[in-house]
Amino acid sequence: MKTINSEKIPIKIWTDNVEESAIKQIKNLANFPFAFHHIAIMPDVHKGFGMPIGGVMATKDVIIPNAVGVDIGCGMCAVKTPLKSDNLSVDLLKKIIGQIRQTIPVGFKKHKIPKKEISKTKNKIVSQELNSAKYQLGTLGGGNHFIEFQKDGKKNIWIMIHSGSRNLGFKVAKYYNEIAKDLSSKNSVKIPVEWDLAFLYLDSKEGKDYLDEMNYCVNFACENRKLMADLVIGVFIDVLKKENVKLLKKDFGKIIDVAHNYARVEKHFGERVVVHRKGATSAKKGELGIIPGSQGSASYIVNGKGNEESFMSCSHGAGRKMSRKGAQENLKLEEEKKKLEDLGIVHGIRNKRDLDEAAGAYKNIEEVMENQKDLIEVVEKLVPIGVIKS
């Protein structure tokens, strides 16, 4: 970790690898009038909208929709299966992947029949979107979201899922960011429009409404991942039954679930503040976390060390080193496919469009982990064997 003291409050950063466009955003955070104590930047940092991905900012009295982002509650879940990698052939894995693709909609697709009841609410935007959201509960989405199959050092097979609140979070984020922008002319404290950091006072009706709707989306995203995990477990049980291997749901481990896009009221440095984590994972002392790599590199189950310098946070993944367009234009399709095939990974890279999620588009996860040794300790290192993306 190094400290930059050129702005209004210090910037504490866990990497030397930061693009110039992200540096500009980081400095905006450090000069934000309500920012508290210092800004913490994780080693997977890259440019976002308003606030960089991999950023952690605590504020006094205000909450910032763009410092949470449009995929509210996006995060990870992982579950250990009772299977060993020696008992999971490539052909069997492909059967499982094929059935999962028939069971869990990906991309913009959704279920034809809701898989689970969805809790009602009086919140304005969520209420408007509930009918659509009930068909999206238990769906993967697109972009960097994935279902991945991995093995640990003892050859145990794991399931890992990355997904968020689907269109629900997007609608809530967009609505309240527009309200924050509309109210900016009435605020006594002015923020440059180009910063894209319009805020809501926490004790205002709008601020309270956003916090309530944001928390609903965080819970929805968690339920979304857990439902997908249950569906994937069901596929494992069904496919293995046809292979004369009996599995029961109770044979699978407890689901670990963590979010990495949200804001939460916490106590740090003796003060109650709103901690915004945008592409960052909570890492309180002893708290389990999940840090995925790319589809061609390891992922990690970790324990937090409770380091106050990062507001008890760590990275949410490896972090992009190329934009989506940059990856599609600069990476070579056959080279990226060969990387995964040489590692024995069943993957879904088929054409140039898929290169935006190729392993070469991401930072080196081992460097990211090395840079945050003071924030977390590794519990499990998980190596990918198969990946599902949209």
Show which residues are catalytic.
Answer: 316
Distance CA 180, CA 294 (A): 35
φ, ψ for residue 80, nearest 5 deg: -85, 130
Least Cα distance to 17 among 320, 313, 326, 323 occurs for 320
Name the helix (H) or strand (E) containing 97.
Answer: helix 90-103
Least Cα distance to 77 among 255, 236, 279, 316 occurs for 255
- Burial of residue 315 (number of CB atoms within 10 Å: 0-12, 13-18, 19+): buried
Query: What Cα–Cα distance (Å) separates residue 327 from each residue in 50, 158, 292?
Result: 22, 28, 19
| 140 within 8 A of 103, measured Cβ to Cβ | no
φ, ψ for residue 228, nearest 5 deg: -60, -40
For tokens 């963590």, the residue is: 258
| 8 within 8 A of 305, measured Cβ to Cβ | no
Distance CA 13, CA 317 (A): 16
Distance CA 381, CA 141 (A): 26
Distance CA 47, CA 65 (A): 16
Task: Tell how strand 146-151 and strand 376-388 pair up.
Answer: antiparallel
